[in-house]
């Protein structure tokens, strides 16, 4: 289920006021943090190893030799099926097949350990290949992927429910392959500047694609994701630059329509999937640690004791009023005037507090590889 915005209701009855956080605003905040860099030092060093490695060369990760072929990676010693990108590296559907027997929480925790200590040996070559694909290849192509992919690990380990019935949980197959459990499913996702045909992992397309056209819930897993990233950056990208320079190009300046009651659709599947992951993760974070929003002020009169023979005096003091918060996920982003005209004082202050809370959470995700939903 795609989530494109959040409705934040506050007040004792949950409905005294409402503030709308559109997915475009949330993604722009994600871009602000990504643009500033700041990934953990050990992994930043490994990003340097990847970027400085020539195509066809190799580098070490978790005691395994990882071969770089363009932006694809393959661990020495594994055998995989060539796909539409040839034999440069295993496709995500094959990585999913080869890690599917590992309990998802165990796999997520193992991936975090490798990110935290890249020099620690791990014997499962498919796991090491998955880490290299998600946190080196994808992050080099799109630096926002470091935070987004860690958010996905958080959601997996946290067992966060999603879907219209709130009955689904993420696993690595869903992450890497589109609807692998629904045989022969075909559908078309139309966007303003692009269209993509969905092909499940059990369906082979005209060009031999297997689960890679739409990909899974991982934003960079679908065909042409790199082109979608370049479009979102608004500039030509030289991928031979150092990682710090690449991060500076990962900011976003998205604009939702200004007209009231207008439905907003993201221009490509990369941005839609990034938005859904980010908003779903924020809901889980706020459920774990609810933000405090000031919705107004009240006046309190204090009586001050007299001193040195003077009579008692009074003082009026302003006290901030905080409200309980309820967050609802929305599948569409609509510019509804009622959301910006909340029936409370200092509405702009509440909206500002929401943005600050979101920015703080995204920054916390960038700065650690630990599970923030544990």
Query: What does the pLDDT look like over 47-81, one tens digit per residue?
Result: 999 999 999 999 999 999 999 999 999 999 999 98
Q: DSSP 3-state assignment of 211?
A: coil
**pLDDT for the residue 335:** 55
Quote the percentage of the chain above a pLDDT of 70: 81
Number of H helices and E strands in the chain, helices first, is 13, 14
**pLDDT for the residue 183:** 42
**pLDDT for the residue 269:** 85
**pLDDT for the residue 214:** 66
Q: Which DSSP helix (H) or strand (E) runs through 113?
A: helix 104-116
Distances 180 to 11, 98, 132, 278 between C-alpha atoms, Å: 43, 14, 23, 23
Those residues whose C-beta lies under 8 Å from the C-beta of residue 164, and which sit 6 or more positions away, are 1
pLDDT in tens, 1-42: 688 888 888 765 544 577 778 888 899 999 999 999 889 899
What's the pTM? 0.85
Q: Band of the pLDDT at 339, cuts 50, 70, 90?
A: very low
- Closest alpha carbon to 134 in 121, 118, 147, 120: 147
Q: Which region among 2-11, 126-135, 288-297, 334-343 has the lowest average model confidence (pLDDT)?
A: 334-343
- Is residue 10 exposed (0-12), middle (13-18) or buried (19+ Cβ within 10 Å)? buried
pLDDT in tens, 226-281: 988 998 877 778 888 899 999 999 999 887 766 655 666 788 889 999 999 999 99
Mean pLDDT along residues 154-163: 91
Averaged pLDDT score across all residues of the chain:
82
What are the extents of the domains in the chain?
5-34+254-367, 43-247
The whole-angstrom separation of Cα 76 and Cα 78 is: 6
Rg (C-alpha) for the chain, rounded Å, is: 24
Query: Residue 362: is its pLDDT beyond 80?
Result: yes
């Amino acid at each position: 289920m795609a989530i494109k915005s959040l409705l934040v209701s506050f007040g004792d009855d949950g409905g005294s006021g409402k503030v709308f956080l559109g997915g475009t605003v949330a993604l722009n905040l994600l871009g602000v943090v990504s643009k500033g860099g700041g990934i953990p030092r050990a992994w930043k060093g490994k990003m340097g190893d990847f970027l400085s490695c020539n195509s066809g060369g190799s580098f070490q990760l978790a005691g395994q030799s990882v071969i770089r072929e363009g932006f694809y990676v393959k661990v020495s010693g594994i055998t995989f099926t060539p796909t539409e990108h040839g034999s440069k590296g295993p496709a995500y559907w094959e990585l999913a097949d080869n890690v599917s027997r590992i309990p998802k929480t165990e796999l997520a925790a193992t991936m975090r350990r490798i990110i935290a200590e890249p020099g620690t040996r791990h014997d499962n070559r498919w796991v090491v290949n998955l880490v290299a694909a998600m946190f080196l290849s994808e992050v080099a192509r799109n630096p926002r992927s470091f935070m987004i992919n860690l958010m996905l690990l958080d959601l997996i380990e946290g067992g966060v429910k999603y879907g219209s019935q709130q009955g689904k949980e993420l696993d690595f197959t869903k992450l890497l392959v589109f609807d692998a459990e629904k045989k022969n499913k075909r559908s078309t996702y139309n966007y303003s500047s692009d269209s993509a045909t969905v092909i499940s992992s059990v369906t082979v397309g005209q060009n031999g694609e297997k689960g890679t056209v739409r990909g899974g819930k991982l934003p960079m897993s679908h065909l042409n994701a790199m082109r979608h990233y370049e479009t979102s950056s608004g500039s030509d990208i030289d991928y031979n630059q150092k990682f710090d320079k690449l991060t500076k190009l990962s900011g976003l300046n998205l604009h939702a329509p200004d007209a009231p009651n207008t439905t907003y659709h993201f221009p490509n599947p990369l941005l839609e999937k990034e938005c859904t992951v980010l908003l779903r993760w924020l809901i889980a974070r706020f459920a774990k640690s609810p933000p405090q929003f000031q919705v107004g002020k009240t006046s309190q009169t204090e009586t001050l004791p007299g001193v040195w023979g003077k009579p008692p005096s009074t003082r009026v003091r302003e006290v901030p009023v905080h409200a309980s918060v309820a967050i609802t996920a929305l599948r569409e982003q609509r510019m509804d005037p009622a959301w910006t005209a909340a029936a409370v004082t200092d509405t702009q202050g509440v909206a500002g507090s929401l943005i600050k809370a979101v920015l703080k959470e995204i920054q916390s995700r960038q700065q650690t590889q630990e599970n923030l939903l544990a």
